[in-house]
Amino acid sequence: MLKPILCGALAIVLAVSCGSKAQTGRARLLACLKASVDAGKIMYGHQDDLCYGHAWTVEDPGNDPLDRSDVKDVCGKYPSMLGLELGEIELGGDKSLDAVPFLLIRRAALRQVERGGVVTFSWHPRNPLMGGTAWDNTDGVVTSILEGGENHAKFMGWLQILGDFFDTLRDADGKRIPFIFRPWHEHTGNWFWWGQKHCTTEEYVALWKMTYDYLAGERGFDNIVWCYSPSMNVDAAGYVERYPGDEIIDILGLDGYTYKEEERGIEVACADFRDLLKATLDYMVPLAKQHGKLIALSETGLEGICAPTWWTEALYPAIKDYPVAYALTWRNACDKPEHFYGPWKGFEYEDDFKAFAEKDQIVLL
Ligand code: BMA
């Protein structure tokens, strides 16, 4: 059984409803997430939260690795959902595309689960055809890695390396920990090589199936909860167009950000974000019900949080009336001062985050 992630009454709900030992890790984690949703809660998540912060790294003197967190610095608690990124693990090196050691990522994942929280992995693999990054968005890459393609063997090698990493994620009893995996995200845009314009629907679905068959099938990872996460730029038809199927997907995710643009003020940008997110959740809720799936805001944020009340007046009102399992804000890059999406101590609008975190519905550890 997973540890309860909450204190008080809800902890009891989770403790009794998180499934039996006989269930797979996937089923148990899903049961926990569902119990939390059924109790009306929304878990708060932050990307890379234990690995570094807005103005610190784990190597700084005085920082106990895995104890510091920008979120905890502000509100006294860790996020209940920890996002971690595995981009470039496929190259076999020891650091991710964001220069985070995979050893640290592994320890962060295990520590988060030990503390009773949940982990979600994203993966921005490089372009296996052209050699560039995930943003090297050329056509034909997916074709080249599917069965029969010139890069199929190479890509299967990448999946093997990913699987080897996943296999190291074990608790003190040597059992694989349950976690969420969210590959091939934001495919409804064209910025990644697996994006809408760069492959057909059949190819995209085949890419998912190949990934799932290898990890869940061949490697036997029955501890993975699978999240599908289109970008918030589509209607209901666009959302489901490339859906890989109910057998593969557990969570209907959504990546949706607030974008500041010169021509509209930040207040309008926040209101537009709130309205679009609600309109998207309006069609996701019946869809999730129909397919028997959970919903998550798998990535969100406003870069640099230049709105004084983004948390309480843009994000919170947009999600509070919906069964959203978790909402995860993107990373606070330590090497790019303007690239932050979570709170940090000393940030001018940190009180607004505190007010968000103190809402009954919002769950931290
Ligand atoms: C993006 C940015 C990049 C980062 C990537 C993967 O949104 O934060 O700086 O490399 O995510 O984490």
pLDDT reported for residue 19: 62
Q: Which amino acid is at 290?
A: Q
What are the DSSP calls for 84-117, one per residue? EE-TTGGGT-SB-TTS-BHHHHHHHHHHHHHTT-
105/63 Cα distance (integer angstroms)? 16
% of the chain residues with pLDDT over 90:
90
Q: How confident is the model at residue 12 (pLDDT cuts 50, 70, 90)?
A: very low
pLDDT digits (tens, 9 = 90+) for 136-193: 999 999 999 999 999 999 999 999 999 999 999 999 999 999 999 999 999 999 999 9
CA 339 to ligand 1: nearest atom: 8
Structural tokens at position 298: 């798998």
In whole angstroms, how far apart are CA 132 and each of 88, 221, 333? 11, 29, 22
Determine contact, residues 204/212, Cβ cutoff 8 Å. no
pTM: 0.95
Going by alpha carbons, the residue nearest to atom 4 of ligand 1 is 98
Alpha carbon of 337 to ligand 1 centroid (Å):
14
Question: Ligand 1 pocket test: which of 331, 332, 335, 340 has the largest number of ligand atoms within 8 Å of its C-beta?
Answer: 331
CA 98 to ligand 1: nearest atom: 10
In whole angstroms, how far apart are CA 295 and each of 123, 197, 249, 284, 300? 20, 26, 11, 7, 14
What are the sequence ranges of the domains in the chain?
Answer: 42-363
Ligand 1 site residues, Cβ closer than 6 angstroms: 85, 87, 97-98, 124, 330-331
User: Which secondary structure element, helix H or strand E, spans residue 80, and what is its range?
Assistant: none
Residue in this structure with the two tokens 């039996």, named with its chain if needed:
20
Determine contact, residues 10/39, Cβ cutoff 8 Å. yes
Question: Ligand 1 pocket test: which of 124, 257, 328 has the largest number of ligand atoms within 8 Å of its C-beta?
Answer: 124
Alpha carbon of 66 to ligand 1 centroid (Å):
21
Closest CA to 44 of 357, 360, 256, 359: 357
pLDDT reported for residue 18: 63
pLDDT digits (tens, 9 = 90+) for 297-356: 999 999 999 999 999 999 999 999 999 999 999 999 999 999 999 999 999 999 999 999
pLDDT > 50? residue 14: no
- Displacement of CA 153 from its chain's centroid (Å): 28
Residue 255 burial (C-beta neighbours within 10 Å; 0-12, 13-18, 19+): buried
pLDDT reported for residue 62: 82
- Displacement of CA 269 from its chain's centroid (Å): 23
Whether CATH 3.40.718.10 fits 42-363: no
Alpha carbon of 85 to ligand 1 centroid (Å):
9
User: Which secondary structure element, helix H or strand E, spans residue 30, and what is its range?
Assistant: helix 25-38
pLDDT reported for residue 145: 98
pLDDT digits (tens, 9 = 90+) for 282-294: 999 999 999 999 9
Question: Ligand 1 pocket test: which of 47, 95, 98, 100 has the largest number of ligand atoms within 8 Å of its C-beta?
Answer: 98
Helix axes 25-38, 9-17, angle to 10 degrees: 150
pLDDT reported for residue 319: 98
Distance, first Cα to last Cα, the chain? 17
Alpha carbon of 91 to ligand 1 centroid (Å):
17
Alpha carbon of 16 to ligand 1 centroid (Å):
38
pLDDT digits (tens, 9 = 90+) for 87-138: 999 999 999 999 999 999 999 999 999 999 999 999 999 999 999 999 999 9
CA 97 to ligand 1: nearest atom: 10
pLDDT reported for residue 61: 84
pLDDT > 80? residue 10: no
pLDDT digits (tens, 9 = 90+) for 240-253: 999 999 999 999 99
pLDDT digits (tens, 9 = 90+) for 191-242: 999 999 999 999 999 999 999 999 999 999 999 999 999 999 899 999 999 9
Going by alpha carbons, the residue nearest to atom 8 of ligand 1 is 331
Mean pLDDT of the 56-79 span: 92
pLDDT reported for residue 93: 96
339/57 Cα distance (integer angstroms)? 15
Mean pLDDT of the 262-270 span: 92
Alpha carbon of 28 to ligand 1 centroid (Å):
30
